[in-house]
Amino acid sequence: MSPRTALALGAAAGAVALAQLAPSVASLGQWTSLRHMGRVTWRGEGPGVAFTFDDGPSPDATPALLDRLDELDWPATFFCLGAAVDRHPQVVREIAARGHQIGTHGYEHRHHLGAGPRWIAADLDRALASLQGVGVRPHWFRPPYGQISTGTVAASRRRGLRLALWSAWGREWALPDAAAVISSVRAGLAPGAVVLLHDSDMSSPPGSARRALNALGPLCEDVVAAGLVPMTLDRLCTGPSSAAG
């Protein structure tokens, strides 16, 4: 192979890698004033705030969280992993029965950066089939780790799904207690905020979901004091409600 050919092949490979990885910087929108770009959403409109929970359902953590949300009279949005849906379908049905919205978090909690478009599409199809089995048709997809590649965008578009990121997060996996989680969320709590928390320790250190649960009471006080209205992601973004049944 000539040096010129090798250089051309290297440049082509670099362009392919860039095309795959560049869209992932969309997750940085949580630190900007961006609301949405194309199919990707970081925050909604008006005085609302959407609390969202990733990585469940978990029979150990999700029911207690649902009870707490009932006490607060808060609707929320749960981004369920297909693998967990298959293991605990009754918990997913309970989420829907209590009036919460359900989105998909993919089937496996794996990085999209470096994954090929075919794998991403197959994983998403498997996740959607799992939710369909419990009577849920989601409108939102939050890819694991908030990673968005060209394959993520293409797969979601073809299946009519919008991509949901966030503008505030609890970082329960990295912080020591509920007080620190509360401080992290408060930094981004504002009209239109999409808050990321977790209702499972599946991909986080033990105790992460418990820290999220313990943070909800004080965060409720913050939400009320700020004049914000808790709502599902669909309502926050003026989209249709996720269908169940």
Task: Look up the pTM and report it.
Answer: 0.86
Percent of the chain exceeding pLDDT 90 equals 71
pLDDT at position 245 is: 38
Mean model confidence pLDDT for the chain: 86
Eight-state DSSP code of residue 193: B
- Does residue 32 carry a pLDDT above 90? no
CA distance 217 to 228: 15
Q: Which entry of 54, 55, 123, 201 is annotated as an active-site residue? A: 54
pLDDT at position 5 is: 39
- Does residue 90 carry a pLDDT above 50? yes
Question: Identity (one letter) of the amino acid at 147?
Answer: Q
Q: Which entry of 88, 112, 139, 198 is annotated as an active-site residue? A: 198
How many CB atoms lie under 10 A from the CB of residue 122?
Answer: 13
Per-residue pLDDT averaged across 51-78, rounded? Answer: 97
Catalytic site includes residue 54: yes
Task: List the beta bridge partners of residue 57.
Answer: none
Which tens digit of pLDDT belongs to each residue from 94-146? Answer: 999 999 999 999 999 888 888 889 999 999 999 999 999 999 999 999 999 98
pLDDT at position 4 is: 45
pLDDT at position 45 is: 86
CA distance 122 to 23: 20
pLDDT at position 164 is: 94
Per-residue pLDDT averaged across 28-42, rounded? Answer: 75
* CA trace torsion 153, 238, 80, 121 (10° rounding): -20
Sequential DSSP letters for 202-235: TTS-TTHHHHHHHHHHHHHHHHHHTT-EE--HHH
Catalytic site includes residue 111: no
Banded model confidence at residue 46, pLDDT cuts 50, 70, 90: confident
Structural tokens at position 110: 């794996």
- Does residue 240 carry a pLDDT above 80? no
Q: Which domains does the chain have, with CATH numbers?
A: 3-244 (3.20.20.370)
Q: Are 179 and 212 in contact (CB under 8 A)?
A: no
Label each residue of the chain as H, E or C. CCHHHHHHHHHHHHHHHHHHHHHHHHHHHHHCCCCEECCEECECCCCEEEEEEECCCCCCCHHHHHHHHHHHCCCCEEEECHHHHHHCHHHHHHHHHCCCEEEECCCCCCCCCCCCHHHHHHHHHHHHHHHHCCCEECCEECCHHHCCCHHHHHHHHHCCCEEECCCEECCCCCCCCHHHHHHHHHCCCCCCEEEEEECCCCCCCCCHHHHHHHHHHHHHHHHHHCCCEECCHHHHCCCCCCEEC
Structural tokens at position 98: 């209590």
